[in-house]
């Protein structure tokens, strides 16, 4: 391949393959670009400011959770009839965010979408942190968190076992499996890059830190062979997993009898929404990060454009789900079902419903235009709107359905408490804190993988044992 010194790799000209990495990139410059972010002795002042702010905000979360545990569940806005309030909304929201990471790292890996290499580490980290944020909400919202071990099947003096046919227990198992597999996938992929940092380390402490984390990786052909197999197998396991996790989360709703929840469209609808919101979060984080850390040659406009196409595609799926939900409510002929959806669109929570429709269905349509797909700040604003819209979607599903069910005498409105607001805002703080620490101490881009897709790094012959197709 000829060296293309051209900073536009978003072309669709089929006669030449667009480079996945820009600039005069070779193995040394890739290592240098990524490692120097971690290695500079002093991060810029802005990093400190951002860390202090987000750590402070995450303090709100911990203060709220501490207050909740000491005082009791009454400090939340949850009450009859809306017994599942913001904690469940936030939980579903954060779990959804986590889905893009596994999509990019596992599904795109299986489809041999090699452009994923620059952003997969980033997205996987996002997954792990989002799952960490998500896990807090259902855990504290059970009330007596110190009895949470009752969820585990262990022989006890009550001679009781958990009910394995309850969707709530499926949820616990699915989320913990997802968290575990995401961490394993993230860490396994990072080991060769941690070894790079170990070998470049100048101080004894850094060498010890990255030496322990990289477990003595040497990059021998045998190690790479098994590593690639393990990575492929983990990707193959994570792909059905990512589709199952949000399906299981949707069972919490779909398996119940409540109008507005009891629908079979919920699992695919939730999965599409999760990937949609996750891709939007990748854009929200990647646009500032690539500008801030000088990664524009690695996380190129082509990556962002591809993410925007994914957002557009999943937005259409989500919009279709909204439509089919309304259609089925009418076509099904169940008056309660129809009321639930009419109430969403025209009841007291109509503002949330229409905000959701605007943010999730209408705004992403702007991505039909290439000029918008390739301008960083406009796409950032659209992605932020999608984040808002997806939170609203979960709010509409959880709160609007519970607030008005079968019996008009037991209708009621939901009012979030201060603790609710602190927990939501604080969870963003925790997410940002973890992300900032990740940017500072761990390799943000999968260096070894990027080296594999460099034009000169391409070895034409394909390892038939992996059964790959390097097109």
Q: Is 156 helix (H, G, I), strand (E, B) or coil?
A: coil
Instruction: Using CB under 8 A, pick the residue from 198, 302, 394, 404 that binds another protein.
Output: 198
Shortest distance in whole angstroms from residue 80 CB to another protein: 22
CA proximity to 132, closest of 169, 86, 88, 95? 95
Shortest distance in whole angstroms from residue 138 CB to another protein: 16
Query: Distance (Å, rounded) from C-alpha 57 to C-alpha 54?
Result: 5
Chain positions 384 to 423 lying near another protein, rule: CB under 8 A, are none
Shortest distance in whole angstroms from residue 206 CB to another protein: 11
Residue 160 touching another protein (CB under 8 A): yes
Residue among 176 and 375 whose Cβ is closer to another protein: 176
The vertex-321 CA angle with 330 and 174, nearest 5°, equals: 120
Query: Distance (Å, rounded) from C-alpha 157 to C-alpha 147?
Result: 14
Query: Distance (Å, rounded) from C-alpha 103 to C-alpha 243?
Result: 9
Residue 222 touching another protein (CB under 8 A): yes
Residue 181 touching another protein (CB under 8 A): yes
Cα-based distances in Å from 360 to 89, 278, 317? 16, 13, 10
The vertex-122 CA angle with 118 and 125, nearest 5°, equals: 150
Q: Give the number of residues in contact with another protein, rule: CB under 8 A.
A: 75
Instruction: Using CB under 8 A, pick the residue from 24, 165, 257, 471 that binds another protein.
Output: 165
Instruction: Using CB under 8 A, pick the residue from 16, 17, 40, 225 that binds another protein.
Output: 225
Shortest distance in whole angstroms from residue 36 CB to another protein: 12
Instruction: Using CB under 8 A, pick the residue from 199, 381, 421, 425 that binds another protein.
Output: 199
Residue 212 touching another protein (CB under 8 A): yes
Stretch touching another protein by CB under 8 A, among 133-141, 179-187, 354-362, 372-380 = 179-187
Instruction: Using CB under 8 A, pick the residue from 10, 177, 365, 375 that binds another protein.
Output: 177
Residue 162 touching another protein (CB under 8 A): yes
Shortest distance in whole angstroms from residue 87 CB to another protein: 21
**Contact assessment for residue 126 and residue 435, using Cβ atoms and an 8 Å cutoff:** yes
Residue among 15 and 159 whose Cβ is closer to another protein: 159
Query: Distance (Å, rounded) from C-alpha 254 to C-alpha 266?
Result: 6
Residue among 5 and 28 whose Cβ is closer to another protein: 28
- Long-range contacts of residues 166-170, Cβ cutoff 8 Å, at least 24 apart: 167/248, 167/251, 167/252, 167/255, 167/256, 168/252, 170/248, 170/251
Q: Going residue by residue from 434 to 463, which x/- string records binding to another protein, judged by CB under 8 A?
A: --------------xx-xx----x-x-xxx
- φ/ψ of residue 82, rounded to 5: -95, 80
**Contact assessment for residue 314 and residue 274, using Cβ atoms and an 8 Å cutoff:** no
Instruction: Using CB under 8 A, pick the residue from 465, 467, 469, 471 that binds another protein.
Output: 465
Query: Distance (Å, rounded) from C-alpha 367 to C-alpha 9?
Result: 18
Stretch touching another protein by CB under 8 A, among 60-68, 232-240, 291-299, 363-371 = 232-240
Residue among 323 and 468 whose Cβ is closer to another protein: 468
Q: Going residue by residue from 136 to 155, which x/- string records binding to another protein, judged by CB under 8 A?
A: --------x-xx-----x--
Chain positions 336 to 365 lying near another protein, rule: CB under 8 A, are none
* DSSP secondary structure code for residue 104 in this structure: I
Rg (CA), the chain: 23
At which residue do the structure tokens 């699992």 appear?
267
Residue 373 touching another protein (CB under 8 A): no
Chain positions 13 to 72 lying near another protein, rule: CB under 8 A, are 26-28, 31
Residue among 227 and 320 whose Cβ is closer to another protein: 227
**Contact assessment for residue 45 and residue 120, using Cβ atoms and an 8 Å cutoff:** no
Residue among 264 and 410 whose Cβ is closer to another protein: 264
Instruction: Using CB under 8 A, pick the residue from 36, 112, 218, 370 that binds another protein.
Output: 218
Stretch touching another protein by CB under 8 A, among 55-63, 173-181, 357-365, 427-435 = 173-181
Q: Going residue by residue from 246 to 265, which x/- string records binding to another protein, judged by CB under 8 A?
A: --x--x--------------
User: Please, which residues have CB within 8 angstroms of residue 93's CB and are 6 or more apart in sequence?
Assistant: 134, 277, 390, 391, 394
**Contact assessment for residue 193 and residue 443, using Cβ atoms and an 8 Å cutoff:** yes
Shortest distance in whole angstroms from residue 113 CB to another protein: 17
How many CB atoms neighbour CB 405 within 10 A? 19
**Contact assessment for residue 367 and residue 311, using Cβ atoms and an 8 Å cutoff:** yes
Sign of CA dihedral 222, 226, 227, 228: positive
Residue 230 touching another protein (CB under 8 A): yes
């Amino acid at each position: 391949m000829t060296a293309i010194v051209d900073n536009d790799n978003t072309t669709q000209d089929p006669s030449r393959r667009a480079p996945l990495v820009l600039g005069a990139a070779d193995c040394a410059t890739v290592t240098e670009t990524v490692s120097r972010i971690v290695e500079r002795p002093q991060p810029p002042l802005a990093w400190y400011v951002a860390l202090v702010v987000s750590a402070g905000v995450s303090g709100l979360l911990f203060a709220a959770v501490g207050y909740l545990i000491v005082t009791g569940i009454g400090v939340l806005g949850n009450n009859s009839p809306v017994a599942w309030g913001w904690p469940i909304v936030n939980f579903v929201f954060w779990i959804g965010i986590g889905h893009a990471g596994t999509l990019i790292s596992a599904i795109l890996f299986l489809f041999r979408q090699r452009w994923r290499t620059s952003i997969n580490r980033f997205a996987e980290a996002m997954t792990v942190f989002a799952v960490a944020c998500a896990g807090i909400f259902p855990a504290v919202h059970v009330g007596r968190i110190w009895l949470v071990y009752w969820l585990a099947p262990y022989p006890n003096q009550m001679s009781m076992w958990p009910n394995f046919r309850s969707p709530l227990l499926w949820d616990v198992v699915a989320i913990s499996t997802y968290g575990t597999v995401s961490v394993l996938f993230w860490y396994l992929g990072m080991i060769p890059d941690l070894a790079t940092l170990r070998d470049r380390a100048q101080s004894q402490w850094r060498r010890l830190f990255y030496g322990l984390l990289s477990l003595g990786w040497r990059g021998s052909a045998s190690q790479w062979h098994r590593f690639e197999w393990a990575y492929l197998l983990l990707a193959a396991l994570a792909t059905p997993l990512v589709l199952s996790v949000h399906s299981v989360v949707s069972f919490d709703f779909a398996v119940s009898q409540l109008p507005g929840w009891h629908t079979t469209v919920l699992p695919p609808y939730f999965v599409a929404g999760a990937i949609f919101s996750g891709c939007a979060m990748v854009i929200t984080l990647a646009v500032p990060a690539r500008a801030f850390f000088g990664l524009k040659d690695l996380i190129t406009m082509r990556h962002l454009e591809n993410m925007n196409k994914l957002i557009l595609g999943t937005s259409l799926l989500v919009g279709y789900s909204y439509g089919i939900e309304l259609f089925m409510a009418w076509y099904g002929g169940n008056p309660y079902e129809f009321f639930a959806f009419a109430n969403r669109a025209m009841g007291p929570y109509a503002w949330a419903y229409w905000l959701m429709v605007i943010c999730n269905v209408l705004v992403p349509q702007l991505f039909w235009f290439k000029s918008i797909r390739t301008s960083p700040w406009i796409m950032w604003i659209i992605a932020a709107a999608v984040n808002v819209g997806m939170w609203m979607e979960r709010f509409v599903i959880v709160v609007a359905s519970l607030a008005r069910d079968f019996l008009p005498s037991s209708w009621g409105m939901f009012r979030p408490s201060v603790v609710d607001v602190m927990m939501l805002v604080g969870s963003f703080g925790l997410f940002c804190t973890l992300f900032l620490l990740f940017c500072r101490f761990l390799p943000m881009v999968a260096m070894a993988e990027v080296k594999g897709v460099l034009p000169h790094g391409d070895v034409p012959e394909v390892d038939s044992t992996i059964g790959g197709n390097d097109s």
